[in-house]
């Protein structure tokens, strides 16, 4: 863009790490709005989520990847390819780890992937509120012996602790560049994608351990009606009939609660009143069927 001010910095930053270390929480805090769903279950994020942070001096485009793990099905294979391909596409990598978790095979697996890239890597130690300050030094030393990190930044993404310092460090490592997105744009995903993710988040939260990550959400219809209310029709996809019963709940109670909670987030996102209608459909073993993966938005050829 020709009107980019002199000295303006910009770049693409990937957020990687094991499942459930707080990558989406970090992204949402930085952007200031929920665009990546959060859950205490692993493998919540399935697609690359681009979040855009813009200030007067810089623009940082964040890519939140699926947690790096050893895949167990075709969906897992897809998620791993997304995560690993991202490392080659960015200017900087944020490797997020959890302060309270001991270094183990999962971290070793990721470190080996990072050794294969020449992209600078920041070690972001998240959830520092869960450990004593004196314990941080030992954690930092453990990781420093494994890889030559460009920076090490301890944070609490949930509380926002040390996030401004992290952003300063990120911008400091970026080169001068253009403003890729308008100042008021926070993601490059279409609204339908974010709406589907917000619904899926509520299913995960409310069903807890009863429904594993065999849930997808498809937006069938999304249109503004004459009364200015937005009508959204969506289908929740599960793999087994028993899961359908759980998602619907007794006399439809669970599905109503999913809709009620999702509607609040969707209205905040769209800035409009929403009429949300939900259905539940069984699609057996969809995570292992490429045709269904494509139908539900997991398009491998895009990566």
For residue 163, say whether it is annotated as part of any ligand binding site. no
Distance separating alpha carbons of residues 175 and 239, to the nearest angstrom = 46
For residue 110, say whether it is annotated as part of any ligand binding site. no
For residue 68, say whether it is annotated as part of any ligand binding site. yes
For residue 22, say whether it is annotated as part of any ligand binding site. yes
Work out the number of other CB atoms within 10 angstroms of the CB of residue 277: 12
For residue 227, say whether it is annotated as part of any ligand binding site. no
For residue 126, say whether it is annotated as part of any ligand binding site. yes
For residue 19, say whether it is annotated as part of any ligand binding site. yes
Strand order across the 216-224 sheet = 216-224, 230-238, 274-282
For residue 212, say whether it is annotated as part of any ligand binding site. no
Enumerate long-range contacts of 284-289, CB under 8 Å, 24 or more apart: 284/239, 284/240, 285/239, 286/214, 286/216, 286/237, 286/239, 287/73, 287/74, 287/75, 287/76, 287/214, 287/239, 288/73, 288/74, 288/75, 289/74
For residue 65, say whether it is annotated as part of any ligand binding site. yes
Residue 132 corresponds to which tokens in the numbers above?
């004593």
For residue 24, say whether it is annotated as part of any ligand binding site. yes
For residue 301, say whether it is annotated as part of any ligand binding site. no
For residue 64, say whether it is annotated as part of any ligand binding site. yes
For residue 154, say whether it is annotated as part of any ligand binding site. no
Residues 6+ apart with CB under 8 A from 27: 15, 35, 36, 49, 51, 62, 64
Is the distance from CB of 29 to CB of 21 less than 8 angstroms? no
For residue 127, say whether it is annotated as part of any ligand binding site. yes
Is the distance from CB of 246 to CB of 206 less than 8 angstroms? no
For residue 129, say whether it is annotated as part of any ligand binding site. yes
Annotated binding site for GTP: 17-24, 64-68, 126-129
Annotated binding site: 17-24, 64-68, 126-129
């Amino acid at each position: 863009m020709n009107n980019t001010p002199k000295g303006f910095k910009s770049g693409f930053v990937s957020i990687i790490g094991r499942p459930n270390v707080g990558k989406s929480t970090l992204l949402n805090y930085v952007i200031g709005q929920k665009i990546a769903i959060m859950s205490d279950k692993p493998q919540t994020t399935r697609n690359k989520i681009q979040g855009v942070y813009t200030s007067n001096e810089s623009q940082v485009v964040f890519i939140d990847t699926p947690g790096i793990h050893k895949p167990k099905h075709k969906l897992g294979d897809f998620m791993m390819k997304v995560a690993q391909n991202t490392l080659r596409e960015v200017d900087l990598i944020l490797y997020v780890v959890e302060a309270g978790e001991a270094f183990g095979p999962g971290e070793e697996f990721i470190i080996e992937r990072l050794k294969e890239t020449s992209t600078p890597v920041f070690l972001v130690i998240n959830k520092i509120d869960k450990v004593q300050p004196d314990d941080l030094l030992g954690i930092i030393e453990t990781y420093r012996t494994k890889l030559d990190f460009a920076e090490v930044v301890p944070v609490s993404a949930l509380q926002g602790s040390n996030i401004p310092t992290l952003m300063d460090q990120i911008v400091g490592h970026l080169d001068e560049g253009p403003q890729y997105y308008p100042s008021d744009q926070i993601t490059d995903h279409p609204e339908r994608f974010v709406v589907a993710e917000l619904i899926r988040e509520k299913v995960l939260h409310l069903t807890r351990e009863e429904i594993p990550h065999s849930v997808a959400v498809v937006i069938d219809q999304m249109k503004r009606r004459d009364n200015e209310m937005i009508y959204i029709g969506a289908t929740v996809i599960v793999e087994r009939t028993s899961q359908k019963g759980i998602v619907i709940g007794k006399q439809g109670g669970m599905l109503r609660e999913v809709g009620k909670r999702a509607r609040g987030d969707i209205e905040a996102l769209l800035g409009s009143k929403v009429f949300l209608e939900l259905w539940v459909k069984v699609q057996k073993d969809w995570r292992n069927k490429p045709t269904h993966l494509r139908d539900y938005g997991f398009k491998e050829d895009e990566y």
